[in-house]
Amino acid sequence: MCGIFAAINKQSVTRHLIKGLQNLSYRGYDSAGIAIVDHSGLQRRRAEGKIERLIHCLETKPLEGRVGIAHTRWATHGAASQRNAHPHMTSRVAVAHNGIIENSHQLRTELESRGFHFESDTDSETIPQLITFYLNLGLEHDQALRSALERLEGSFAIAAVFDDLPDCIFAARRGSPLALGYANGGHFLASDINALKSVADQACHLEDGDLARISLLHIAITDQHNKRVDRPRQVICEQQSNSDRDKQGFRHYMLKEIHQQAGVIKRTLGNYLPGADNTIDFPLLPFNLAELQRLNIVGCGTSHYAAMIAKYWLEGFAGLAVEVDIASEYRYRDGPVCASTPSLFISQSGETADTLAALRHAKQCAQHCISIVNVVDSSIARESHVILPTMAGAEIGVASTKAFTAQLTVLFLFSLKAAVSRGRINQTEKKRLQSQLTLLPSIIDNFLNSEHRILAIAQKLQNIEHMLYLGRGIALPLALEGALKLKEITYIHAEAYPAGELKHGPIALVDASMPVLVVAPPGRLFAKSLSNLREVSSRGAKVILVSDQQGIDEAQDYIDAAIAIPTIEPLLQPFIYTLALQLLAYHCAVLKGTDIDQPRNLAKSVTVE
């Protein structure tokens, strides 16, 4: 993985390929390359590192043609290097691949025994080598490609061009997304439909098992049974506003997106609370909230922490039992799946491979599946029975910020609707909570005005190597998310624990060199959190407290720094507390000089298991 772009046009496609890769770059990558086919055969340019290095390579060794494929790679097999960069090719075919070929070692061993020579350490190179094997047997291009694909185990999206077919691109998918773009001057192909919007008017999504043959004037798609099919086209919507595409004067996309959160919450509320009658306008759910006994919520990373927060809401004031699963574990623990228990899936991109696989598993078990996604034409959205969009707009920074708070907004409204449906709160309380929710954007904007105070704390942390985060109750997933943000963009080793588990092992790590951040909002658990804070302070730890001013005053003798959070409705505390943790991670990363928007080894859309 991580990004595929391809083009066939009446003019040279090189600039389109580069632009397509730049549009995909927010997903994270470590190398890039393009391959062009014309009447003289296949040619390729690749570079380790940023796309700018590929552009420089093309300036010194130009490559022009009307048919080409391109790729940004995020290493899974083999180091980030030029030799491992895509496209991979033989003298007969070049291939760009997203996904993982799980039986690549066996295929490689077989092909090497037949005299094939590999030039990279990747699993992806087995694909052009295997296609070439079948071409050498005399199969036609599409037959050779299908025969090769049948041998592959794992997931893939593939773009391929052949040396003796200079007017055609082939595309295929199983598990990884791939979209075809239609334009007046030609056709385009991308692993993310957002990359097509600057060049195409319409698009269609390939389905699993599809093989497409793309020429200048025509696209022919066959399904897994090799039967001709037409996939429905859609007009490509301009989902990214101009404000999403530039930094608007902010130093990084991440900082801009942190500051966009007030507007994102307001926009999301506007989508679900369109009228003045306080009705939460959700699409028709395929189950009755009032009669529901249990709900599963599934997600990865930040989306999983959003699910954990929703569990506290749904169980605490809606009275609905919730089981939260990490998507990568959901299918493999062989737990009983009840068809009457619906599942809710959360994914920013809507393409998260583990979450998509979990959704498909739930559907096979006859469960109703709803999803909270930020991309309404994504695979998860298209395969769900109902979608609840987050309205966050395009999130460019790899570390999620505004998408997280948008997820929380939808989840809170879902919890509120469930609480009313189940008779746990009346309309007066519902109206009060919705009124508090509408105040959030202004509270967030006011809090962001005190950002300089967090910078002062970050300056104390810039040289640390390890850090602990502690939280109780709904503060635990906030601590987990805060630690995740710190390690994602600063590369500081940060771990979060339930504060009550401190004495069951983690306290052995605490000394003067281990800062401890305690997330302790006011409420019935504050006294217990304060007790844990004193425990780490007595062992020499430098303690940072995130609480309201009253809590900070109570802990004053035991802390080294504090982030004061405004006092708000207790159920809405996660929205403000996570803001402080995002800003702390961001300013630590700035001081350390890391690549904040595209951290090493990370991808925005994780499309492999």
pLDDT at 607 (0 to 100):
60
Give CA–CA dist 246/69, Å, rounded: 26
2 catalytic? Reply is yes
Average of per-residue pLDDT across 128-139: 96
pTM of the model: 0.88
pLDDT at 238 (0 to 100):
55
Decide: 27 and 36 in contact? Cβ < 8 Å: no
Backbone φ, ψ for residue 168 (5° rounding): -155, 145
Q: 277-291 pLDDT, tens per residue?
A: 778 999 999 999 999
Give CA–CA dist 215/190, Å, rounded: 15
Decide: 70 and 18 in contact? Cβ < 8 Å: yes
450-609 has which CATH code? 3.40.50.10490
> Given a cut of 90, is residue 521 above it in pLDDT?
yes
Instruction: Give me 313's structure tokens.
Output: 């809401």
104 or 176: whose pLDDT is higher? Answer: 104
pLDDT at 300 (0 to 100):
95
Per-residue confidence band for 155, with pLDDT thresholds at 50, 70 and 90: confident
The order of strands in the sheet holding 31-38 is 41-48, 31-38, 67-73, 2-9, 186-190, 179-183, 202-205, 234-235
pLDDT at 604 (0 to 100):
65
Q: 494-507 pLDDT, tens per residue?
A: 999 999 998 899 89
Nearest Cα to Cα of residue 319 among 290, 340, 298: 290
Per-residue confidence band for 242, with pLDDT thresholds at 50, 70 and 90: very low
Give CA–CA dist 70/20, Å, rounded: 8
> Given a cut of 50, is residue 312 above it in pLDDT?
yes
The ranges assigned to domains in the chain are 2-235, 241-252+260-440, 450-609
Q: Which residues does 172 contact at the CB level (< 8 Å), separation at least 6?
A: 145, 149, 156, 157, 158, 160, 178, 206, 210, 211, 212
In 10 A of CB 11, how many CB atoms? 12
Decide: 216 and 228 in contact? Cβ < 8 Å: no
Residue of 197, 417, 485, 604 marked active site: 604
pLDDT at 353 (0 to 100):
86
pLDDT at 409 (0 to 100):
97
Q: 451-487 pLDDT, tens per residue?
A: 888 999 999 998 999 999 999 999 999 999 999 999 9
- Strand 31-38 to 202-205 pairing: unpaired
Sign of the torsion angle spanned by Cα atoms 67, 73, 76, 77: positive
> Given a cut of 60, is residue 135 above it in pLDDT?
yes
Which amino acid does the sequence have at 535? E
Same fold, 2-235 and 241-252+260-440: no
Tell me the range of 82-96, 192-206, 590-604 where mean pLDDT is highest. Answer: 82-96
> Given a cut of 90, is residue 276 above it in pLDDT?
no
Give CA–CA dist 158/490, Å, rounded: 34
Range in 31-45, 110-124, 592-606 the model is least confident about? 592-606
Average of per-residue pLDDT across 14-31: 87
The domain defined by 2-235 folds into Glutamine Phosphoribosylpyrophosphate, subunit 1, domain 1 (3.60.20)
Residue of 2, 57, 168, 300 marked active site: 2
Nearest Cα to Cα of residue 264 among 399, 397, 371, 405: 405
> Given a cut of 80, is residue 322 above it in pLDDT?
yes
604 catalytic? Reply is yes
pLDDT at 239 (0 to 100):
47
pLDDT at 240 (0 to 100):
46
Per-residue confidence band for 147, with pLDDT thresholds at 50, 70 and 90: very high
pLDDT at 591 (0 to 100):
95
- Please report, rounded to a whole number, the percentage of residues in the chain having pLDDT higher than 70: 97
E strands along 206-328, which residues?
211-214, 219-222, 228-229, 234-235, 294-299, 321-326
Per-residue confidence band for 236, with pLDDT thresholds at 50, 70 and 90: confident
Sign of the torsion angle spanned by Cα atoms 53, 596, 608, 378: negative
pLDDT at 19 (0 to 100):
93
26 or 509: whose pLDDT is higher? Answer: 509
Average of per-residue pLDDT across 532-536: 93
Range in 77-81, 95-99, 416-420, 497-501 the model is least confident about? 77-81
- Determine the length of the chain: 609
Nearest Cα to Cα of residue 87 among 141, 126, 32: 32
Give 241-252+260-440's CATH code, choosing from 3.40.640.10, 3.40.50.300, 3.40.50.10490, 3.40.50.150: 3.40.50.10490
Nearest Cα to Cα of residue 582 among 441, 403, 440, 446: 403
- Please report, rounded to a whole number, the percentage of residues in the chain having pLDDT higher than 90: 76
Average of per-residue pLDDT across 128-144: 96
Average of per-residue pLDDT across 384-394: 94
Ramachandran class of 41: left when φ > 0, alpha when ψ lies in -120 to 50, beta otherwise:
left
